[in-house]
């Protein structure tokens, strides 16, 4: 296991070997952190003009707390941690069907759990590599040639480079994955629905530090309330994938209206935010289920290789776990990337598959019941206190 405080004292087995990381999200920044500590010379490229900000808060629990402790970042995370939130399932009249109050969560330190804004964790991770890596925003891989000694990479700005390893940390729609792995498209598993998300300044629609969720068959509206902002989330089921233009925000707004117009609870107020502008996320719920996470000198980390979907609520944690596990495997096999990649995958895959399976089944039916029967069963579990969030 890499200890960042001692890694400069001789544990470095491969000093200044060049490594390319594609993507500067949680997976990319955390991978960069560990690779610099292993003594590699790290280059990160990120297609956006800067860090990609936004999104809902991230849960930090279990193994991720230990990893952030090893990274000496846990205090910074604690300092930014959000207050615990109440979670309530609502009906049309805004009556609470059940849920979990912040006070009822376990007081056991081994069950410690922090929630932190995505941007805050991004800043903490970025600060840990800033100045220690070569970083190019607005750059993407155009072509890769995976040879016996190195990977030759051509970038979309015409520049080129040779690297001992290339680590694809470029998210759900990974460019590295599609350039390298023949099963890239087939690996995207459609979970049967679409979601809209918009983060707006505090709306007053619900108390701070609470989540409220209202479902009818095939449709769920969810609000997250914080001290300074509100997340507006609308999700609907669709058996078939919908052919839409991801650049056409007006078309996406129409799709949301088609599924939510006429619903009660706080949905009309939520739809007013949908109409405000095009500053929102709209996407299908999907997972990435690859046959293998590496090929030759190229490996995938985080959503690029094994996206578990927002339904799992663990995408950020799994990216941090993946980066640490890959680095630990490379430290155990400093001269054998093939063995390291295999070990990384063998050790992490069972956990990832368990999370994916749970999200695709219990997660979907709890958060987005597909039909009357699923909704009834979910509401029965809520009333009986059997829902595990």
Ligand X SMILES: Cc1cc2nc3c(=O)[nH]c(=O)nc-3n(C[C@H](O)[C@H](O)[C@H](O)COP(=O)(O)OP(=O)(O)OC[C@H]3O[C@@H](n4cnc5c(N)ncnc54)[C@H](O)[C@@H]3O)c2cc1C
The DSSP code for 102 is G
- Does position 315 bind ligand X by CB under 6 A? yes
Residue of the chain from 2, 22, 33, 181 that contacts ligand X (CB under 6 A): 22
> Token pair of 320, please?
């941090």
- Give the DSSP letter string of 194-260: EEEEEEEE--SSS-TTEEEEEEETTEEEEEEE-SSEEEEEEEEE-SSPP---TT-HHHHHHHHHHHH
* Beta-bridge mates of residue 163: 151
Give the count of beta carbons closer than 10 Å to the beta carbon of residue 52. Answer: 16
Bridge pairing between strands 160-163 and 151-155: antiparallel
Q: Rule CB under 6 A: is residue 28 a binding residue for ligand X? A: yes
CA distance linking residue 178 with residue 196, whole number of Å: 25
- Size of residue set near ligand X by CB under 6 A: 29
Which part of the chain contacts ligand X (CB under 6 A), choosing from 23-31, 65-73, 85-93, 208-216?
A: 23-31
Burial class (CB in 10 A: 0-12, 13-18, 19+), 148: exposed
Interactions with ligand X, residue window 132-151 (CB under 6 A): 140
Q: Which of 99, 193, 316, 363 forms a contact with ligand X (CB under 6 A)?
A: 316
Question: By CB under 6 A, which span of 35-43, 209-217, 309-317, 374-382 interacts with ligand X?
Answer: 309-317
x-or-dash pattern for ligand X, window 85-124, by CB under 6 A? Answer: ----------------------------------------
How many CA atoms lie less than 13 Å away from 314 in the CB half-sphere?
A: 23
Please pick, from the candidates 25, 218, 363, 369, the single residue that binds ligand X as defined by CB under 6 A: 25
36 versus 56: smaller Cβ distance to ligand X = 56
When binding is defined by CB under 6 A, the residue of 319, 326, 340, 364 that contacts ligand X is 319
Check binding of 193 to ligand X (CB under 6 A): no
CB of 321 to ligand X, least distance (A): 11
Positions touching ligand X (CB under 6 A) are 22-28, 45-48, 52, 54-56, 140, 169-172, 175, 197, 302-304, 310, 315-316, 319
């Amino acid at each position: 296991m890499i200890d960042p405080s001692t890694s400069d004292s001789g544990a470095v087995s491969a000093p200044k070997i060049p490594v390319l990381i594609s993507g500067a999200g949680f997976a990319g920044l955390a991978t960069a952190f560990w690779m610099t500590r292993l003594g590699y010379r790290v280059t990160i490229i990120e297609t956006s003009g800067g860090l990609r900000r936004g999104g809902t808060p991230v849960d930090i629990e279990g193994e991720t707390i230990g990893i952030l402790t090893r990274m000496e970042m846990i205090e910074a995370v604690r300092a930014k941690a959000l207050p615990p939130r109440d979670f309530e399932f609502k009906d049309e009249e805004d009556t609470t069907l059940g849920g979990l109050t912040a006070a009822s969560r376990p007081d056991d330190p081994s069950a410690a759990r922090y929630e932190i804004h995505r941007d805050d964790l991004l800043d903490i991770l970025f600060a840990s590599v800033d100045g220690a890596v070569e970083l190019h925003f607005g750059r993407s891989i155009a072509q890769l040639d995976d040879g016996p000694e190195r990977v030759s990479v051509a970038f979309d700005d015409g520049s080129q480079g040779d690297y001992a390893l290339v680590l694809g940390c470029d998210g759900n729609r990974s460019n590295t994955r599609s350039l390298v792995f023949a099963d890239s498209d087939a690996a995207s598993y459609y979970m049967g629905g679409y979601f809209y998300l918009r983060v707006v300044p505090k709306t007053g629609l619900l108390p701070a530090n609470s989540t409220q969720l209202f479902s009818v068959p095939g449709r769920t509206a969810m609000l997250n309330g914080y001290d300074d902002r509100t997340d507006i989330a609308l999700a609907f089921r669709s058996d078939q994938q919908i052919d839409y233009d991801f650049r056409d925000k007006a078309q996406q707004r129409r799709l949301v209206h088609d599924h939510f117009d006429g619903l009660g609870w706080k949905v009309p107020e939520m739809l007013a935010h949908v109409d405000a502008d095009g500053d929102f996320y709209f996407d299908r719920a999907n997972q990435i289920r690859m046959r293998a996470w590496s090929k030759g000198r190229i490996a995938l980390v985080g959503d690029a290789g094994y996206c578990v979907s927002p339904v799992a609520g663990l995408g950020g944690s799994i990216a941090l776990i993946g980066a640490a596990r890959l680095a630990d495997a490379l430290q155990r096999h400093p001269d054998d990337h093939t063995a390291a990649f295999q070990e990384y995958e063998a050790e992490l895959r069972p956990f990832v598959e368990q999370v994916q399976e749970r999200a695709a089944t219990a997660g979907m039916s709890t958060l987005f019941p597909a039909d009357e029967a699923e909704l009834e069963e979910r509401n029965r579990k809520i009333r009986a206190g059997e829902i595990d969030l």
